[in-house]
Structure 1
Amino acid sequence: MIKFFRHIRQQLIQENKMGKYFKYAVGEIVLVVIGILIALQINNWNEGNKDKKQEQVYLKNLKDDLKGIIESYNTANIVEDIILNQSSDIIRHYDLNQGFYNMDSILPKINDLTVRWGVIASPTTLVEMINSGQTKLIRNTNLRKDLVAFNEQLQLWSTNTINNNTNLVDNMIVPEIMKLGTLSLKGYSDEMEAIFNNYSYSKFIHSTDTSLSTISLDQLNKPEQKLNIINLINYRHTIASLQKGVNNSIINRVNELLKSVETELNND
């Protein structure tokens, strides 16, 4: 093709048809420019098509990540519900018996109050996209902004949960309950052990020394200790209630994002 065009130019020069030569040269330049523009357009189309395919991959992975986060926080809520129910049962039992008596069914519920559930749920795909600058592939601007904002919120919520678990449960409540020795006597409730069995292979051991039970109940029923334990139980109930509220906020937010992601997937 190039030789063909060159031959035409040479022929026009030889025939001294300079006017036609210049017109032809301009036309040839226009054709070259048009060819370049078409090539660029094709390249842009190919790049855009590739970006769309990559966006679909990211959105599908985001969908899976978001579903995993909901599942993790639903499990956390099961634990919080156990603690809420146990603490309420302990207070009712205490009032009914006018003290910590007839405690065989209640001791495991007291022990359950030492449990706190830390959710390890990260939007792995979103973090990867943010770190690599690939969030720009999400064409829906509002969804892109919402996802980035959610990642920041989730980090804040997770940090607060860890701090609350450490400072309010581990450091304040667990030591006081451990002093009572109830954990070695009865262990955890069946509901709580079922949660443990789903996520670990922990085996719990208990002492058969019946005298320890008497010592534990004597400690529980000391006037100053009764006040302390009732306060701790009420406080543990409050912590669980607040944590469940946070968990539900996260679940609701993730459900909103999940709907937006699914909409984007269906649009393509």
Structure 2
Amino acid sequence: MLAENKINRYLLYAFGEIVLVVIGILIALQVNTWSENQKSHAKKEALLRALSVEFNANLKQLDSVNYFNARVVQATRKFFVLTLEQAKQVSDDSLRIWLSETIYLWTFDPQNGALRSGIASGDVHLIQNDTLVNLLFSWQDVVADAAENEERHINSWLDNANRIMAPHVRKVDYETWFYDSSKSKFSSDYRALVGDPLFEDFLAERFGQILDAMQELNLVRSQNVRILELIARELKATQ
């Protein structure tokens, strides 16, 4: 009986030791899991904040590009409806300014550093909103499509602008960066330009190009705005 009691006590003691070890392991695992979750939470929040800064900057740039595109549309319309008789009543300075505004070549060059870093590191997968993740992954493709469209229009403009304008006006007369520093030594004939049918064709093409570019950029802008909305929602959920 004494021997049996000793064995029972030993087994009970051993069982207690095992239970304590298991509990210790479970607590350690739980603490480790909590620690990893905290690290992941911090990484996700840092990424979301970086993306918020980046896409707000992109939105500001998009609005700036569209502002100048709208000025191109407005200036192009002025020339397109201008008759030769009306052109005689408009000063050379006004015609020069209108012409300079038809040649704006602003392009969208987004910041993508935080996005690329998040994708490369895999931290973007810490974001649990599938819609946001999908929009982030497709962002660069959407931007690339708009950039290809812009490049196509710019190449077409460069091919036509100098060829059509050169016989009538001097570059230094209408390119805005020359305004304060230089003026052509040779005279420009803006009214001859207005009366050139090739210039009318150029304006019509330019008008269509800018509207097309604005339409593409508006698609980019819509995605940019949606991304910012979802980022704000995710950041609010992390608080």
**1:63-212 pair list within 5 angstroms:** 63-94=52-83, 97=86, 102=90, 104=92, 105-165=94-154, 167-188=155-176, 204-209=181-186, 212=187
CA apart distance, 1:157: 2.2
Contact (CA 8 Å) 1:116, 1:169: kept in 2 or not?
Answer: no
- The equivalent of 2:202 in structure 1 is 232
CA apart distance, 1:60: 1.1
TM-score by length of 2: 0.85
Q: Which residue of 239, 243, 246 corresponds with 2:216? A: 246
- The equivalent of 1:7 in structure 2 is none
Question: Following the alignment from structure 1 to structure 2, what is the Cα–Cα distance between the partners of residues 36 and 183?
Answer: 79
Secondary structure of the equivalent of 1:232?
Answer: helix
CA apart distance, 1:186: 4.2
TM-score by length of 1: 0.77
CA separation of 1:96/1:49 partners in 2, compared to 1, >3 Å: closer, same or farther?
farther
| Deviations 1:85-104 (CA, angstroms, capped at 9, x unpaired) | 1111012223653x788561
Q: Which residue of 213, 216, 222 corresponds with 2:188? A: 213
Say what the alpha-carbon RMSD is for the aligned residues: 2.7
Secondary structure of the equivalent of 1:213?
Answer: coil
Question: Following the alignment from structure 1 to structure 2, what is the Cα–Cα distance between the partners of residues 217 and 207?
Answer: 17
Question: Following the alignment from structure 2 to structure 1, what is the Cα–Cα distance between the partners of residues 112 and 179?
Answer: 28
- The equivalent of 1:10 in structure 2 is none
Counterpart residue type for residue 142 of structure 2: Q
CA apart distance, 1:218: 4.6
Gaps of 5+ in 2: none
Share of identical aligned residues, percent?
Answer: 21
Question: Following the alignment from structure 2 to structure 1, what is the Cα–Cα distance between the partners of residues 230 and 139?
Answer: 13
Secondary structure of the equivalent of 2:182?
Answer: coil
CA separation of 1:171/1:21 partners in 2, compared to 1, >3 Å: closer, same or farther?
farther
Question: Following the alignment from structure 1 to structure 2, what is the Cα–Cα distance between the partners of residues 205 and 15?
Answer: 111
| Deviations 1:142-200 (CA, angstroms, capped at 9, x unpaired) | 322222122332233223323332x2222333443244334323444xxxx7xxxxxxx
Greater Rg by CA: 1
Counterpart residue type for residue 183 of structure 1: K
Question: Following the alignment from structure 2 to structure 1, what is the Cα–Cα distance between the partners of residues 27 and 179?
Answer: 66
